[in-house]
Structure 1
């Protein structure tokens, strides 16, 4: 948006014009500003998406193109959720098949003649094993494993490796608590070896399923990411287009208001030229850019600039008037702050400031003088 709005111009509209026209312009300005605020929220959401790949829903007016993109993003998220649920269901079914194959191995182990000490939890009290829970951090047995495999309350095993780890724990607990020469230790070690032999052929299938699941998740995330980026790119383009349209509409309203403004007087033109003489070179450059914006033939960047205020349109003159007024106010505030922070060195600072100011003014005068080497400004007489 431009640096000068309509609010500053409306008080200068000639009283002879219809008040209803002014009210209409003000109403349109309010509507445009509301729309711009909505679009800026969308811009922030798009930026947030690209920042951390997750964004909140933008707040936009119902039925707008931006709202359509919002619904599209929501639809993509729903598709992602549906696809995730579908993949999880298919993966769970495949894993259940592997668990069933693992169940065959488990039955073979539990039916071994030496498996009886491991079928139920260790009866610590009956066996007088007072230090058992001090030695064994997590007791485990085949009865507990079977119960968890058949659970339907969400505590069931999610994959084969979880069951495999608990089977190993059954035997390792027994080997840890009992001495190597103890019969229970020998039985546990023997059955653990048999289990590993039977588990080994199933391991490649489990590994393959794990890799497949990981690849599916990666591909789904990539596809969703690309779809979200495309949707957000479309949203960004639409926001840009709507911002441009709003800016053009606002510009039209400015022109309408300016066309009804009173004429800039000769005295005001002199004041504009005098104000430009007081501004830093960078602000003078900005003023020249304002002129160039509405006069394509004006070369604001050339080494020699000839600015004839009498030749400028009322629109340009009003823009220059408000620009120099604002720039001078900023300059005065900055000077006040500097003076307040440097009272203890005021004498030295003032000398330095005056010297610099003289040099700057001389440079600006040279810059805006019509016969200068670099720039010249030609105020109206």
Structure 2
């Protein structure tokens, strides 16, 4: 193979390896998604080949995601409106409390300076009064109440602050305790409406989450199918490149055959099985997984011999064993070769397995 031909061959191999890198990243993304999905489920009780077809699928998924986002936004708006209606209804209950004859001390913020209550802010961490509550109930921006329970908490704070600052015999303490008891009675009467809305909201949120999960699963399932197709195409491309290389190789010498036979004996059990599968590809009658295998090196085709040589050399390098006896440049064990041997070997294994699957399909 000339310098130009070798350079072109290397470039084509680089293209395939770049494709493999891209595929690996996609595989990691899909694996991470399903790993996260499995964890969530554990904590709960509950390929088109044409580019036009792929574009249509992507457009469909994007449209589906946009629709679900719009639906989710619409549901959030509906939930907010229902809660504002609850707040409005609760305002009527609150008016019954504020119209009580003992409610006047709690209608406005405490005049700390005017009354000379120098220790008030040391005792009361968060002052509260009904005028402040009313302003927040009427606010249209983010400062307003989002849930009726927030109002309930502030009403309780109004009375508990008064009870905390004044002793039990103080009139303000007695008034606050009395009004708090009346408020709690009315809150219990109103509570079923709140519980019903909260249950409805929870169910709707669960539906939205489930729909989003289904959309994600559809997206990643599509990605997985595309990855499978891309891997298959990469396998074919690699097989084509390897076949071109093998066809251009010179005839193996007797000494190289002897060295190859010796190198085969140095392989691990798994690697030896991989080598025998290579032999079986061009020898239909050869049983690679038999208990005893009689391999005649001289009887193998040149294509098979060179495939074996490439495979054995990569396997020995991956094991950290010297491969100088396999022939070629003795500097093949340099750092770059060692770093790349694993990827080369994985590519070889992929080709072998793919070809084996193809042969089985043809035989059936």
2:295 match: secondary structure = strand
Counterpart residue number, 2:19: 35
CA contact (8 A) 1:66 1:239 kept: no
Aligned partner of 2:338 in structure 1 is none
Distance in 2, matches of 1:33 and 1:326, equals 16
Checking the alignment, whether the CA contact within 8 Å between 1:72 and 1:231 is kept in structure 2 is no
User: How does the TM-score come out when normalised to structure 1?
Assistant: 0.73
Structure 2 partner of 1:186: 174
Gaps of 5+ in 1: 1-12, 55-62, 335-381
Instruction: Give, in whole Å, the separation in 2 of the partners of 1:45 and 1:331.
Output: 30
| Consecutive unaligned residues in structure 2, runs of 5 or more | 39-50, 323-364
Q: Which shifted more, 24-33 or 178-187?
A: 24-33
Pair 1:109-2:108 in alignment: no
Match of 1:90 among 78, 84, 95: 78
Give 2:297's match in structure 1, choosing from 309, 312, 332.
Answer: 309
2:31 to 25, 47, 57: 47
Residue 232 of structure 1 corresponds to: 220
- Counterpart for residue 297 of structure 1: 285
Q: For residues 145 and 329 of structure 1, do their structure 2 counterparts lie closer, same or farther at Cα, with a shift above 3 Å needed?
A: closer
Q: 1:246 offset after TM fit, Å? A: 1.5
Whole-Å separation in 2 of the counterparts to 1:312 and 1:71: 52
Q: CA deviation at 1:209?
A: 0.5
> Are 1:196 and 2:196 an aligned pair?
no
Find the partner of 1:150 among 138, 145, 152. 138
CA distance in 2 between partners of 1:46 and 1:67 (Å): 20
1:170 matched residue in structure 2: 158
1:79 positional shift: 4.1
Q: Of 137, 140, 148, which residue of structure 2 is paired with 1:160?
A: 148
Which range is displaced more, 29-38 or 296-305? 29-38
Per-residue CA deviation, residues 40-93 of structure 1 (Å, 9 max, x unaligned), is 221111112123359xxxxxxxx6987877666655554443333222111000
Structure number with greater CO (CA < 8 Å, separation at least 6) is 1
Q: Which has the larger radius of gyration?
A: 1
How much has 1:20 moved relative to structure 2? 6.7
Deviation (angstroms), 1:129: 1.8
> Residues 51 and 79 of structure 1: is their aligned pair in 2 closer, same or farther, counting only changes over 3 Å?
farther
Quick check: 2:264–2:272 contact (8 Å CA) kept in 1?
yes
Given that 2:246 and 2:307 are in contact with CA atoms closer than 8 Å, whether structure 1 keeps it comes out as: no
CA distance in 1, matches of 2:282, 2:60: 40
C-alpha contact 2:68 2:211 (8 A) present in aligned 1: no
Superposed CA RMSD: 2.9
Change (3 A) 1:71 1:312: farther
- In structure 2, the CA distance between the partners of 1:140 and 1:277, relative to structure 1 (3 Å rule), is closer
* Cα distance in 2, alignment partners of residues 280 and 162 from structure 1: 69
Within the candidate set 298, 311, 334, 1:323 is matched to 311
Normalised TM-score (structure 2): 0.76
User: Aligned-pair distance for 1:143?
Assistant: 0.8
Cα distance in 2 for partners of 1:162, 1:38 equals 51
d(CA) in 1 for partners of 2:59, 2:24: 18
Cα shift at 1:159: 0.5
After TM superposition, give the deviation of residue 186 of structure 1 in Å. 2.0
Aligned residues between the structures? 311
